[in-house]
Structure 1
Amino acid sequence: MNNNPIIYSDFPDPDVIRVQDTYYMISTTMHFMPGGVILRSFDLIHWEIISHVYDELDNTPGQRLAGDSSIYGKGMWAASLRYHKGTFYVCFVANDTGKTYLYHSEDIMGPWRKQNVRGFYHDCSLLFDDDDRVYIVYGNKEIYLTELDADLNGPKINGLHRMIVKDKEDIRLGYEGSHLYKIYGKYYIFFIHWLSDGTGRRVESCFSSESLEGEFTGGDILDDDMGYNNAGVAQGGIVDTPDGEWYAMLFQDHGAIGRIPVLVPVFWVDDFPVMGIEGKVPLNIEVKSTRPGYVYKPLTESDSFYYEPDENGEVHLKNVWEWNHTPEHTLWSLTEKPGVLRIHSGKISPNVGLAVNTLTQRMTGPACEMTVTVDGGRLKNGDYAGICALQGCYGFIALTKEEEKYYLVMVAKELDPVESIWGEPGGDRKPGREFGRIPFLGNKVTLKVYADFETNVDTAEFYYLDKGQWNRLGIKHQLYFRLDHFTGCRVGLFLYSTKETGGMADYYNFIYGCLK
């Protein structure tokens, strides 16, 4: 059975390092909070989530989903992860604030100290050179190298600053996704571009130089889609094993599930990297584990919602959970009723995308199903509480209340053919379309979403449990990967109000199942 791609879930823009016998990887988390997910592995194939770099970023109105504002399609992306002289560094830009952020910590688990770097460095990569000088490389089409000051606050006065590579080909997307390294005494920069001719897909490139002041030369080094929809495997970092083998952790666009990690062997020929086996990414790959027998925590989990406060009286959700934006902490609880995730309503919202405190996990291919029991006994008229497939073209099943009566509804946003890949200008502020509605006696129900991510399928179906039987409500909803959210589809537990605030919903016994 093939094990490459190594993770069938949305972990894009990976950057990977090794510290002694342990590999660490960071991935883009966009608008989700906590952000900057950190994963750990001992064999580069199996991974577990161990921490996040930050709980909140700048707490702006958009990051909080205040009013009709949001940061969907923006936020944190393409971080650089480095380890230098006992300190971990994470550097990235946020496209909603237009800022560059640098976090550092002596412990990969945190806490992380935050600062800003003057300037905006798209798809940046840090390099700590042997002489303790620090550089940042970045850009799109034109790739620049800038020396930073000793405190990493911004460009060094009279420091090195130059364009090192410029994409001159017929391109849809110029060089970006930079990763800069010093290996065997030479400098290597990896990035991707998207050609307009030929295969017309994402391609991995590499350029090298004897010095940072010298000429960088090179070209394309991997052009392969693993037989999947002409989706090129590219963009990410490289890392060596303790035994001296080299691998690239790249990603591949994989439809609505998102952008999924792919591991590619790297060989050195005449001091230049060669990726893949005869130009192809292997479907099966093995890497010697530095800790054989280690048992990894799953990347997705069920949750009973029984949590014990820590020594400070705080409750921390499992690392697999992330909120859709910065949460409003006064409006959710795991302690008001043990074994229950409780969400309170504090905002009027036109649709689920603008609902505060939607709790999410990544979906998993090739198929997955998630169930949860919802108690809507304290919903207000116009409230919706349920489980969703969260993306721009979302779908959900929910318990709702109208004129003091309960209904089950299936609601979705269909793809509008006149919309661009970026979605509606200014974001989607319209209600979704209702595809199913039935009266419901009672206020407590078990709901399910089933998602199928087989090649060219990308659909979600929604069910409710009645007398031990699962019944589908509404349509089989088509899912998409678009740039309005720029993330893979996620499962979300949500509550939102359309008429008045003050309602409340309880969520019990979340069960996550990976299928096929």
Structure 2
Amino acid sequence: MKKTALLSLAIIFFTVNSCKQVNKQVQKEVDNQVKHKAHNPIIFADVPDPSMIRVDDTYYMSSTTMHMNPGVPIMKSKDLVNWELICYAYETLGNSDVLDLKNGKNTYGRGSWASSLRYHKGMFYVSTFSKSTGKTYIFSTKDPENEPWEKIEFEPSLHDNTIFFDDDGKVYMIWAAGKLSIAELKEDLSGVKEGTEKVLIENANAPAGDNIMLGAEGSQLFKVNGKYYLFNITWPRGGMRTVLIHRADSINGPWEGKLALQDLGVAQGGLIDTPDGRWFSYLFRDYGGVGRIPYLVPVAWEDGWPVLGEDGKVPEQLDLPVNKSLIPGIVNSDDFNRSEKDKDLPLVWQWNHNPDNSLWSVRERDGFLRLKTGRIDTSFVQARNTLTQRTIGPESTGSTMLDLSNMKEGDFAGLCLLQKEFGLVGVKIENGAKKIVMVSAQKGETKEVQSAPLNQDKIYFKAECDFKDRADKANFFYSLDGKSWVSIGETINMPYTLPHFMGYRFGLFNYATQNVGGYVDFDYFHITDKI
């Protein structure tokens, strides 16, 4: 009897332990699979209003950077997940007080908006529009990585337009919000062909109901198996941003619409397929201070309709290659060392508004970025030649070192986090003396939070950003030797505000408040994905 009991206990013990080992192995395999799969968001940084195409086995994407220049960034990828900047469609849209930050004017939150990227008969096209200039733009090139984009511009500014090359050789543009318009373009794309403009869909909001806060906009048109599919974003009042799809057998309609996705507020984008026949929808999500971040959702086809998501939900994991770091493809450190063949600025950099190219250089002093003053400014957001990069999530740190030897009375230079409610740390010259200053613009009130005297010509700054679970907090630090860091000022909140309409950006700045002709040399800018 005792032997039987002992044998039973041994069997139970062996079975339990075997199950534990099997469970551990299963969990390990599951963890391994998750570890080697892509996750959403595919880019944890401000890349809003995406438009995407595939050319053979390479994907290309355009996005919005509004008041930043150069503008309309173009990225490429081999796997839909890991992207790198390859060019911009333009250096500047033109010159005016609002674009040049002159006479107290600016174009924050405007500039150029949502673009439409297309590939047709060996040529890349990207269309966009600008409320700042009142114009519509179409850029084209055969080789975005090696050739410049040619620009066509015409009036008026067609809101959230999508350019579409049909199989019969006609070229169309769709635009507007709520009541959507369509027109055929001239053969040379120089404007709308007279007599072709008409209403495409009278009430594109209808599939989402009557109580709409944001009319259906962000049009992107696709043709799959002979049918036309029009993607739009809308926002029901009291709800979340929503994907709408309209379908038609003819580009002239009639159109039938469906609510295609309503989860996490992920919306605005379109369709992309892979060389092996899979389909995805690329969209974006508002995510607080870091900005609007791109997502992918799988697409299945049912009864001729694209069905977005998994059981109507946006998945965390994707059956695509694992995400790698956004460094160096989207942001990158820069030691400002340049050979003769190097471009002056890598693509990760953008200026806040149009730069004055006579007032900056990476050639005058080897290994340094020099920012000179050329006019008097009264506020940080109106100062010209602030050089910026995106912040990235879930957390990131930007740091720099400044040589202050050639500053003049009233000059102010340093490291910022740029948005309407900005924060910054810098050095001011007051009454012939240098002082370290932390400035905050929380809730619209700009104030000097803390200062400390400085008795040397070199200073190190860093800013730490926490975007985890929309914490949207940042802290600033300074160092006299680059090793020992001192916190300065207060923790700032980083809200996403519409007047600037973009995620927070690291920025290097220098401006004059009393005398022109001074300059500051930045030794480096380093970015990491940690705090």
Give me the TM-score of the superposition, normalised by structure 1: 0.92
Asked whether the equivalents of residues 91 and 124 of structure 1 are also in contact (C-alpha less than 8 Å), the reply is: yes
Asked whether the equivalents of residues 397 and 408 of structure 1 are also in contact (C-alpha less than 8 Å), the reply is: yes
The match for 1:454 is 468
| 2:527 counterpart of 1:491 | no
* C-alpha distance in 2 between matches for 1:463 and 1:32: 26
The match for 2:293 is 260
The match for 1:394 is 422
**Which residues of 2 match residues 170-189 of structure 1 at below 5 A?**
170-189=211-230
The match for 1:287 is 320
**Which residues of 2 match residues 288-327 of structure 1 at below 5 A?**
297-310=328-341, 315-327=343-355
| 2:202 counterpart of 1:202 | no
Look up the SS of the partner of 2:183 in the other structure.
strand
Quickly say closer, same or farther: Cα 1:9–1:357, change in 2 above 3 A.
same
Look up the SS of the partner of 1:77 in the other structure.
coil
The match for 2:13 is none
Asked whether the equivalents of residues 250 and 261 of structure 1 are also in contact (C-alpha less than 8 Å), the reply is: yes
Asked whether the equivalents of residues 137 and 154 of structure 2 are also in contact (C-alpha less than 8 Å), the reply is: yes
Kindly state the Cα deviation for residue 214 of structure 1 after the two structures are TM-superposed: 2.2
Kindly state the Cα deviation for residue 294 of structure 1 after the two structures are TM-superposed: 13
**Which residues of 2 match residues 51-200 of structure 1 at below 5 A?**
51-109=87-145, 110-159=147-196, 161-166=198-203, 167-168=205-206, 169-197=210-238, 200=239
* C-alpha distance in 2 between matches for 1:412 and 1:177: 34
Kindly state the Cα deviation for residue 295 of structure 1 after the two structures are TM-superposed: 12
* C-alpha distance in 2 between matches for 1:183 and 1:165: 23
Code of the residue aligned with 1:465 in structure 2: it is: S
Task: Select which of 405, 415, 419 maps to 1:377.
Answer: 405
Q: Higher helix proportion, which one?
A: 2
The match for 1:43 is 79
**Which residues of 2 match residues 342-381 of structure 1 at below 5 A?**
342-381=370-409
The match for 1:8 is 44
Deviations 1:126-181 (A, max 9, x none): 11000110100111111111111111112223336333241242101110010011
| 2:304 counterpart of 1:271 | yes
Kindly state the Cα deviation for residue 407 of structure 1 after the two structures are TM-superposed: 0.4
The match for 1:469 is 484
Look up the SS of the partner of 1:140 in the other structure.
coil
Deviations 1:481-507 (A, max 9, x none): 011110000000000111121110000
* C-alpha distance in 1 between matches for 2:515 and 2:86: 39
Quickly say closer, same or farther: Cα 1:165–1:238, change in 2 above 3 A.
farther
Quickly say closer, same or farther: Cα 1:315–1:22, change in 2 above 3 A.
closer
Quickly say closer, same or farther: Cα 1:293–1:359, change in 2 above 3 A.
closer
Look up the SS of the partner of 1:475 in the other structure.
strand
Kindly state the Cα deviation for residue 112 of structure 1 after the two structures are TM-superposed: 0.6
Task: Select which of 477, 482, 494 maps to 2:497.
Answer: 482
Deviations 1:211-252 (A, max 9, x none): 022210012110001xxxxxx000012111111111111000
Matched positions, count: 489
Kindly state the Cα deviation for residue 437 of structure 1 after the two structures are TM-superposed: 0.5
The match for 1:34 is 70
Deviations 1:33-81 (A, max 9, x none): 1111001001101111111111111122211112311111100111000
Code of the residue aligned with 2:464 in structure 1: it is: Y
Asked whether the equivalents of residues 119 and 154 of structure 1 are also in contact (C-alpha less than 8 Å), the reply is: no
Kindly state the Cα deviation for residue 296 of structure 1 after the two structures are TM-superposed: 8.6
Quickly say closer, same or farther: Cα 1:306–1:258, change in 2 above 3 A.
same
* C-alpha distance in 2 between matches for 1:213 and 1:357: 47
Look up the SS of the partner of 2:100 in the other structure.
coil
* C-alpha distance in 2 between matches for 1:410 and 1:455: 26
Code of the residue aligned with 2:330 in structure 1: it is: L
Quickly say closer, same or farther: Cα 1:294–1:473, change in 2 above 3 A.
closer
Give me the TM-score of the superposition, normalised by structure 2: 0.89
Kindly state the Cα deviation for residue 332 of structure 1 after the two structures are TM-superposed: 0.2
The match for 2:16 is none
Task: Select which of 263, 268, 271 maps to 1:224.
Answer: 263
Asked whether the equivalents of residues 344 and 362 of structure 2 are also in contact (C-alpha less than 8 Å), the reply is: no
Code of the residue aligned with 2:83 in structure 1: it is: W
Code of the residue aligned with 2:297 in structure 1: it is: V
| 2:376 counterpart of 1:337 | no
Kindly state the Cα deviation for residue 293 of structure 1 after the two structures are TM-superposed: 12
Tell me whether 159-168 or 265-274 shows the greater mean CA deviation. Answer: 159-168
Code of the residue aligned with 2:235 in structure 1: it is: W
Asked whether the equivalents of residues 386 and 399 of structure 1 are also in contact (C-alpha less than 8 Å), the reply is: yes
Look up the SS of the partner of 1:63 in the other structure.
helix
Quickly say closer, same or farther: Cα 1:19–1:477, change in 2 above 3 A.
same
Look up the SS of the partner of 2:469 in the other structure.
coil
Quickly say closer, same or farther: Cα 1:515–1:165, change in 2 above 3 A.
farther
Code of the residue aligned with 1:271 in structure 2: it is: G
Quickly say closer, same or farther: Cα 1:403–1:189, change in 2 above 3 A.
same
Quickly say closer, same or farther: Cα 1:202–1:495, change in 2 above 3 A.
same
Asked whether the equivalents of residues 447 and 465 of structure 1 are also in contact (C-alpha less than 8 Å), the reply is: yes
Code of the residue aligned with 2:261 in structure 1: it is: L
Look up the SS of the partner of 1:346 in the other structure.
coil
* C-alpha distance in 1 between matches for 2:490 and 2:300: 49
The match for 1:234 is 267
Code of the residue aligned with 2:472 in structure 1: it is: D
What are the ranges of 5 or more consecutive residues in structure 2 without an aligned counterpart? 1-34
Asked whether the equivalents of residues 382 and 500 of structure 1 are also in contact (C-alpha less than 8 Å), the reply is: yes
* C-alpha distance in 2 between matches for 1:456 and 1:243: 36
Asked whether the equivalents of residues 347 and 356 of structure 1 are also in contact (C-alpha less than 8 Å), the reply is: no
Task: Select which of 493, 509, 516 maps to 2:524.
Answer: 509
Code of the residue aligned with 1:328 in structure 2: it is: D
Look up the SS of the partner of 1:455 in the other structure.
helix
Look up the SS of the partner of 1:36 in the other structure.
strand
Look up the SS of the partner of 2:434 in the other structure.
strand
Kindly state the Cα deviation for residue 317 of structure 1 after the two structures are TM-superposed: 0.8
Kindly state the Cα deviation for residue 309 of structure 1 after the two structures are TM-superposed: 3.0
Look up the SS of the partner of 1:236 in the other structure.
strand
Asked whether the equivalents of residues 88 and 108 of structure 1 are also in contact (C-alpha less than 8 Å), the reply is: yes
CA RMSD in angstroms comes to 1.9
Code of the residue aligned with 1:506 in structure 2: it is: D
